[in-house]
Amino acid sequence: MDLRYSETDEAFRAELRAWLARALPDLPSPPARDDWPARVRFDTNWQRFLYDAGYAGISWPKEYGGRDASPSEQLVFLEETTRARAPYVGVNFVGTLHCGPTLIAEGSDAQKTAHLPKILKGEEVWCQCFSEPDAGSDLAGLRTRAERDGDHYVVTGQKVWCSFGHIGDFGELLVRTDPDVPKHRGITWLILPMDLPGIDVRPIETVLGSSEFCEVFLDEVRVPVENRVGDENDGWRVTNVTLSFERGTAFVSEMVDALRMAEELAPDVHDPTERRELAHVVAELDALWALTKRNVSQAARDGSPGQGAFMLKLAYSEARDRLGELCMRVLDRAAFDVHDERVEERLRTLSIPIAAGTSQIQRNIIGERVLGLPKEQPWAKVP
């Protein structure tokens, strides 16, 4: 991939920039963080607004409502919307940034037709049901069981840290369908309609006083077999497609936002040591932006961002953490003002080294898959 933008890319940038200049002044103010009905309306309306203007699903196939544009145009879209302070993807995060791309890569034709257009139009909100209390970030250690009963899987177990579980129409669900094989080989990926009988969702309040995350309890929930994505017991491979999008491309807009924040912080940094720290962070973010271009290019070519996704998530988490800590030092006493946008952003980004797999898990993955270190023992032998 040529890392420079072409004339076509720049023409797209000019078109998009002009549209944003016309569209953004007429948007209503974002609702309060804990007003979930208003947040759902605001975010899904913005998604529909993008769809009607031809800017939803920049790289998605046209047959499902996307623009079928190039990887570089996707990056231009993220740069321009972030720098224009356009609304964040919000409650559409799971659907548009890693569930939708997973269905494009691994879903059946019926699943693509049923869900992809509705995700792009903001008509379906998706949540994630991956993590479990006993598995932590060792995702493959999950214990939620699914037993086949005719045309259904009967699912029983518990999930935690489920992003947008309390407002989701559908969830991306991982279940164990064979406990007698190594833990990575007995997992299946299912589409979970969140209105099925037997599902109990309990929101978790975060340090910001909001509840993006939930516990989800599943008691003999009957999920149609046709909702399976990929083959039975092949869910770990499908999961890695999901995680590669989550770790490799879903943080792209946040990275652009971090660079913007660093630029805005610079005039307030006067201490020479802190100025060097800020310069190092900005240099790292610039390098990660180049890696992002590579990941997006590979996703367009091969259907997945590949191994670079795992390195991007780990490096970005650490750089963002240092930027947030530096910002608090520069703010000094003002850092106690939780209503300051920069303080709120710092509190929110404390979760980044944990989200989508902890930094320790990222190092484990890099050790096994990139460096070829020995694998872990079968799931049934895990104490």
The Cα 170–Cα 235 span in angstroms is: 17
Among 172, 246, 277, 284, the active-site one is: 246
Q: Measuring CA to CA, which residue among 166, 222, 162, 219 is closest to residue 190?
A: 222
Buried b (16+ CB within 10 A) or exposed e, 203-242: beeeeeebbbbbbbbbeebebeeebbbbebbbbbebbbbb
* Catalytic site includes residue 246: yes
Rounded Cα–Cα distance for residues 135 and 235 (Å): 16
d(CA 104, CA 241): 11
- CB proximity list for 214: less than 8 A, separation 6 or greater: 127, 162, 164, 165, 166, 201, 202, 203, 204
Cα–Cα distance for residue pair 100/110, rounded to 1 Å: 14
SS3 state of residue 214 = strand
Q: Name the β-bridge partners of 217.
A: 158, 200
Residues serving a catalytic function are 246
